Amino acid sequence: MLPRFPIPWRNNLKEIERMTEITHLRTIRSFVLREGRMTEGQKKAIANHWPIFGLEREQGLLNFEQVFGRNAPTILEIGFGMGQSLLEQALAHPERNYIGIEVHRPGIGTLLKAMAENNVQNVRLYNDDGVAVLKECIGDQSLTGFQLFFPDPWHKKRHHKRRIVQNEFVQLVRQKLSLGGLFHLATDWQNYAEHMMELMEVAPGFKNKFGAKAFAKDTFGRPHTKFEARGQRLGHGVWDLVYERVS
């Protein structure tokens, strides 16, 4: 059933279809909010550092130059977990800006604490729904790179509709990437890797950086994490995919 819209929109089929797509992206969530207990260190880090490095969706469309105080290539990551990988990238590439989005506050607190300890200045964070932030806060063709590492695989078939990597999401990412920008995905679930590959290989505007139907030969600069190491100990493989926006 289509969502209800104001009367003037009901005769505009294309507008209704567009809003239905947006509603689908927002209402079928790809995550479950499990807050968990926060340590005193995480709470303190949020209290002290969120006013400096935190962003709010209510601020609307971002001006990267104002937010970071400079013009620089900007990479966005949805679901950075506890922030280990994002921190390592920011330290290794001080010439880049990084925007991280995470719904779980313990991860936000842990990353803010590590940023303060390492004097990291080139990262800004959202504690929000990544799809909503993309839609409302990130300008079209403004990103150099987009990262999605180890999203929830929703491994049961009846839950596959909740996977974040769907056609609508892929085209939203394309909209936000500049030409030549890279979409880097990684998962430790083979079925999800195959799902990602199937969608991305036919997604308009993207080209596989490693050749048709090829996974990346290495991590393509993605740092190894404790989460990844745990999965490998359990016998999980890891698959990276890198696609360039070409149109």
- The strand ranges marked E within 67-188 are 74-78, 97-101, 123-126, 143-149, 177-187
Catalytic residue status for 152 = yes
Distance CA 169, CA 182 (A): 15
Residue keyed to tokens 């049961």: 156
CA torsion sign for 125, 43, 229, 151 is negative
- The strand ranges marked E within the chain are 54-55, 74-78, 97-101, 123-126, 143-149, 177-187, 206-208, 239-245
Q: Which of 125, 105, 132 lies closest to 52, judged by CA? A: 125
- Start-to-end C-alpha separation, the chain: 33
Distance CA 124, CA 115 (A): 10
Distance CA 46, CA 162 (A): 29
**What type of residue sits at position 119?**
N
From the list 152, 188, 218, 240, the catalytic residue is: 152
Helix/strand/coil for 193: helix
Q: Which residues have a catalytic role annotated? A: 152
